[in-house]
Amino acid sequence: MALDRLTLVNFKNYREADVHLCEGVNCFVGNNGAGKTNLLDAVYYLSFCKSHFNPVDVQNIRIGEDYFAIHGYYGEDMASCVVRKGKGKQMKWNKKPYRTLAEHIGRLPLVMVSPADQSLITGGSEGRRRFLDGVLSQTDAGYLHHLMQYGKALEQRNRLLKQMWEDRVWEEAMVSVWDEQLCQHGVPLGEARRRFVKDFEPIFHHYYSKIAGDEERVELEFASGNRPLEVQLMESRQADKYTQYTNVGPHKDDLVMRLGSEMAVKRFGSQGQQKSFALALKLAQFQYIDEHCVGKPMLLLDDVFDKLDMNRVKQLIALVGSERFGQVMLTDTQPGRVQAIFDELPHLEHKLFTVEKGEVYAT
C-alpha cells in the first residue's frame, strides 16, 4: 500500500503539515535541522507505533503543546497515531482503535535506513538483535508473541534473582518456574532467528555485491548457545545467583559479520566497507520483508548519501527507484544533487519537496 497523504499536528518541530506523496521516489531536501528526518519518523510511527529515534513518546510532542497527531492515508485506508500527555498513546486503523499495539505491527511493512545503522556494525549485540527482531516481527506474528512473552519472563526471573540475593535465600523451584517460561518462548525465538539468517544471507550477498562489487567476500553467522536452552539455563544458575542476572538465552544472541571468513567487519572493515555492509543489510531486509509480507514495504532513506560519490548516489537511486522497491521517501541536504540525478533518470516517478523550519513545499 502506498502512502498518498501524510498529515501532522504538533509533531516535533511541525505545528501542522499536509504532504501529498507520489508512488515512486519522494525526496525531501533542506538544511540540517529543518525537519526532513521528522517527516520520515512520522511515517515510521504509522508502521511501528513508535519513533525510530526517540522511544519516549511525549518527547516527540511539539514544545508547548499537549499532544501530537499523525494521520496517514493509504488509498481508502487510514492509520492514525495520537499521543497525549498524561493519557498515553492510541493507534487506530480506519478510525477503529486497536486493543493492543501489537495487532498493528506488520500491517504497514516498512524499512528505515539511516546513519544510525552504522551501529549495526560498530555497536553492541543489542542493536543487531533489534535488527533480527524488527524483521521477524513484521513477517511472523507468532514471533512477536514469543518475543514479548520472553521479555516478560526474563524480567520476572531477573527480579527474582535480585530479590533472593537480598533475602539471602535460594529457591530452586521458583527459578525452575521461570526457566520453563524462558524455554517455552525462547526456543521458538532461536529457531526462527537461525532459519532467518540462513535464508537472509544470500539476499545480503546480492546487495553487497551491487554496492561494493564482487571482489569482496562477506559472511553472516548467527551466534547463539550451542546446547539446548534448558541445559544452558541449568548450567548457568550458579553464575546467575551471584550476578543477579540471567546470563544465557536469546537475549544474548548475536549476528556475527565478517570480511572473508575470519576478519570481523567491526574491527577490520574500512569506513566504506562498514557503510556498504550496513546499507546491504537494510536493502536485503527490504527484499526479505517484501517476500514474506502482503504488500510491498515502504523504504525510508535518511541522509544516506554522506560519504558516497556521485556515481554511487546515482546507482543507489536507480536501484531503489526500480520496480523491486516501490514507494520510497528520502532526505538530502543538496537539492542540486538529487535534481541532477533525476534529470539523468527521467523514467523514475519522483516528487521533490523543500523543507524549511517545519514547513514543507512541493517543488
Q: Tell me the C-alpha to C-alpha distance, in Å, between residue 64 and each of 41, 53, 56.
A: 20, 21, 16
Instruction: Reply yes or no on whether the pLDDT at 42 is more than 90.
Output: yes
**Confidence grade of residue 149 (pLDDT, cut at 50, 70, 90):** very high
pLDDT at 198 over 70: yes
Q: What are residue 325's phi and psi, to 5 degrees?
A: -105, -25
Give 1 or 152, the one with higher predicted confidence: 152
Question: Would the pLDDT of 152 be above 90?
Answer: yes
Query: What global pTM score does this model have?
Result: 0.81
Q: Report whether pLDDT(92) > 90.
A: yes
Specify the range with the lowest mean pLDDT, choosing from 149-163, 227-241, 327-341: 327-341
Q: In the chain, pLDDT over 70 holds for what percent of residues?
A: 99
Instruction: Give mean pLDDT, residues 133-137.
Output: 92
> Can you give the pLDDT at residue 138?
86
For residue 82, CA distances in Å to 54, 106, 161, 224 come to 16, 19, 38, 39
Top-confidence residue, 217 or 110: 110
Q: Please compute the mean of the pLDDT values over residues 237-260 and round it to a whole number.
A: 94
What SS3 state is found at 83? strand
Does residue 161 contact residue 245 with C-beta atoms inside 8 Å? yes
pLDDT of 307 above 80 = no
Task: With CA atoms as reference, report the closest residue to 108 among 56, 41, 49, 22.
Answer: 49
Average pLDDT in the 127-141 region?
Answer: 91
Q: Is the pLDDT of residue 306 over 90?
A: no
Q: Report residue 339's pLDDT band, with 50, 70 and 90 as the boundaries.
A: confident
- Give me the percent of the chain exceeding a pLDDT of 90: 69
Distance CA 81, CA 337 (A): 34
DSSP string, 240-288: HHHHTS--SSGGG-EEEEEETTTEEHHHH--HHHHHHHHHHHHHHHHHH
CA distance readout (Å), 141 to 47, 83, 200, 320, 331: 15, 25, 18, 27, 31
- The region of weakest confidence among 174-183, 224-233, 265-274 is 265-274
Q: Is the pLDDT of residue 308 over 70?
A: no
Lookup: cell for 106: 506488520
pLDDT in the model for residue 226: 85
What are the chain's domains? 1-109+298-363 (3.40.50.300), 116-292 (1.20.1050.90)
What is the per-residue pLDDT for 159? Answer: 97
Cell numbers standing for residue 301: 532513506
Q: Is the pLDDT of residue 148 over 80?
A: yes
> What local confidence, expressed as pLDDT, does residue 86 receive?
94
What's the whole-number mean pLDDT along residues 143-156? 96
- Is 17 exposed, middle or buried (CB count within 10 Å of its CB: 0-12, 13-18, 19+)? buried
Mean confidence (pLDDT) of the chain: 91
pLDDT score, position 259: 86
- Sorted by sequence, the CB contacts under 8 Å of residue 307 that are 6+ apart come out as 271, 272, 275
DSSP code at position 297: P
Sheet holding 328-332, edge to edge: 110-113, 298-301, 328-332, 25-29, 350-356, 359-362
Instruction: Give which of 155, 141, 115, 123 is closest to 255, Cα–Cα.
Output: 123
* pLDDT of 255 above 90: yes
Position 250 pLDDT exceeds 70: yes
∠ CA 40-84-78, rounded to 5°: 50
Q: What is the pLDDT of residue 185?
A: 98
* pLDDT class of 317 with cuts at 50, 70, 90: confident
Bridge partners (DSSP) listed for residue 78? 73
